[in-house]
């Protein structure tokens, strides 16, 4: 168990976040945007220090044997900083959801009802490796008038501390509570259990990470959990789909950034598609290691002797590789592809490449993942790409949000009822 002192500090942070959330309810859109615009300036002005501090995290993590996928997520470059600045500016430009009227009507007795958007309150996000999450979540939280408690992994601790410090500097400059964006600096995993039980102070828990983290949070939380689970993303290539489009989409989905959750992990190919060999060769030439079951390996050896394919790892077709590895399977039909995806999907992203409307319709009507894509890359399943500015993560559950968790998803509803003296009879 964690020490009593650590739990006390955690509770103190959660209590301060709840107080900050109450203060943020009356903050104007102009004040929030001023903080975000100044934060963008701070990120730009502190590029060198951000990179230097991050390089220490990367070096320490390399020495401790962190996986290549997590190292890639951990590393901050100028391009990463540009992305953080762009996200902050896009969020500042978005319409403030707080106070928005969802519905309004007058009852027969004259009571006027308005259903409005209000902040959720305090959001706790548990994540690994990606320091940009610190900025994205903090910015979304502030714009939606929520306080956020961030718990990153130990591999990114110094990077997260510095970025949180910049955010708190921006908040303080405009006289907003610095506790509105707080980082848990103790990275002991044992602190997760007491954190997810602090229902007096925290309103929602969002775990972003591996199965072990999701399971720990789900088993112990007394607070509503919005799961951002692994991405076992599929693409199915239908029998007659164009080769060049297939090549471009599959290569982009797999190789552009293989360490992220919307990267392609499993490729299903109709057995009669005539372009299998050049596609698989292009993948292997790009450094992708192909994996398949015994039947797939036998088919590849028989038909495409120059293509190498490895046996599936222990997890089989449900594996999230987060690397230049890809599972492959030949299927008999669209229905066969659907059955396979239903069995192995993690509920994140599935895509079909087809010109057959009935096959596309069947695919989209039969599958139940957060996003279904037709004739485009799985990499588009992203808050920024969807026009949301950024995302807390990609939710794979069903309540209260699915897919990219953006600004509006950090609000809940409240009824405001106006009367003229009515009483209930």
Q: What is the pTM of this model?
A: 0.94
Report if residue 276 sits inside a domain.
Answer: yes
- Return the pLDDT at 2: 64
User: What tokens appear for 379 in the block?
Assistant: 């990499």
| 96 plus 202 within the same structural domain | yes
Q: Are residues 173 and 265 in the same domain?
A: no
How many structural domains are present in the chain?
A: 2
Residues 172 and 32 in one domain: yes
CATH code of 104's domain: 3.40.605.10
Q: Give domain status of residue 83, yes or no.
A: yes
Give the pLDDT confidence of 309-319 residue by residue, as tens digits.
Answer: 999 988 899 99
Q: Is 268 found in the same domain as 147?
A: no
Whether cis (ω within 30° of 0) applies to the bond prior to 400 is: yes
Instruction: Convert the pLDDT of each residue in 337-347 to its tens digit.
Output: 999 999 999 99
Look at residue 414 and tell me if it is in a domain. yes
Classify residue 283: in a domain, yes or no.
yes
Residue 212 lies inside a defined structural domain of this protein: yes
Same domain, 214 and 331: no
Q: Quick one: 310 and 399 in the same domain?
A: no
Same domain membership, residue 252 and residue 224: no
Q: How many Å is the Cα radius of gyration of the chain?
A: 24
Residues 214, 353 within the same domain? no
Q: Is 199 found in the same domain as 118? A: yes
The answer to whether residue 423 sits within a structural domain is no
CATH number assigned to the domain comprising residue 308 = 3.40.309.10
Is 425 a member of any domain? no
pLDDT for the residue numbered 212: 85
Query: Are 129 and 241 in the same domain?
Result: no
Domain range for 329 is: 233-380
Nearest residue to 126 via CA among 209, 231, 55: 209
pLDDT of residue 279: 98
135 with 256, same domain? no
Q: Which residues of the chain have pLDDT under 50?
A: 1
Domain assignment present for residue 178? The answer is: yes
* Same domain (yes/no): 20, 142: yes
């Amino acid at each position: 168990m964690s020490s009593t002192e650590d739990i006390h500090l955690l509770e103190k942070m959660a209590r301060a976040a709840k107080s900050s959330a109450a203060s943020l309810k009356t903050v104007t859109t102009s004040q929030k945007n001023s903080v975000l615009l100044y934060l963008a300036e701070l990120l730009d002005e502190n590029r060198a220090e951000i990179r230097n501090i991050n390089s220490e995290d990367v070096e320490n993590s390399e020495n401790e044997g962190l996986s290549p996928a997590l190292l890639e997520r951990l590393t901050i470059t100028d391009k990463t900083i540009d992305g953080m600045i762009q996200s902050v500016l896009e969020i500042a430009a978005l319409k403030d959801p707080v106070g928005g009227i969802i519905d309004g009507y007058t009852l027969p007795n004259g009571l006027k009802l308005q259903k409005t958007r209000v902040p959720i309150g305090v959001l706790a996000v548990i994540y690994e490796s990606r320091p940009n999450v610190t900025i994205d979540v903090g910015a979304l939280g502030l714009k939606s008038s929520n306080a956020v408690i961030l718990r990153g992994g130990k591999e990114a601790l110094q990077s997260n501390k510095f970025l949180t410090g910049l955010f708190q500097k921006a908040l303080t400059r405009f006289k907003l509570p610095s506790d509105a964006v707080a980082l848990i600096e103790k990275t002991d995993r044992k602190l997760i259990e007491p954190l997810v039980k602090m229902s007096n102070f925290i309103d929602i828990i969002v775990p972003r990470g591996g199965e072990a983290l999701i399971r720990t949070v789900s088993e112990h939380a007394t607070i509503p959990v919005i799961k951002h689970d692994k991405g076992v993303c599929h693409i199915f290539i239908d029998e007659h789909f164009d080769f060049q489009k297939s090549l471009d989409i599959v290569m982009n989905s797999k190789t552009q950034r293989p360490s992220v959750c919307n990267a392609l992990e499993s490729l299903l190919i109709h057995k009669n598609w005539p372009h299998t060999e050049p596609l698989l060769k292009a993948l292997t030439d790009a450094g992708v290691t192909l994996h398949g079951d015994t039947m797939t390996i036998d088919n590849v050896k028989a038909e495409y002797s120059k293509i190498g394919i490895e046996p599936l790892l222990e997890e089989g077709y449900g594996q999230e590789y987060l690397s230049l590895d890809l599972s492959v399977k030949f299927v008999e039909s669209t229905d066969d592809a659907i059955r396979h995806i239903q069995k192995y999907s993690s509920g994140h992203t599935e895509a079909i490449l087809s010109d057959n409307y009935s096959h596309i319709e069947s695919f989209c009507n039969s599958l139940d993942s957060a996003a279904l894509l037709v004739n485009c890359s799985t990499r588009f399943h992203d808050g920024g790409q969807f026009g949301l500015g950024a995302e807390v993560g990609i939710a794979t559950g069903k309540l209260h949000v699915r897919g990219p968790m953006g600004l509006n998803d950090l609000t809940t509803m409240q009824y405001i009822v106006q009367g003229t003296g009515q009483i209930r009879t």
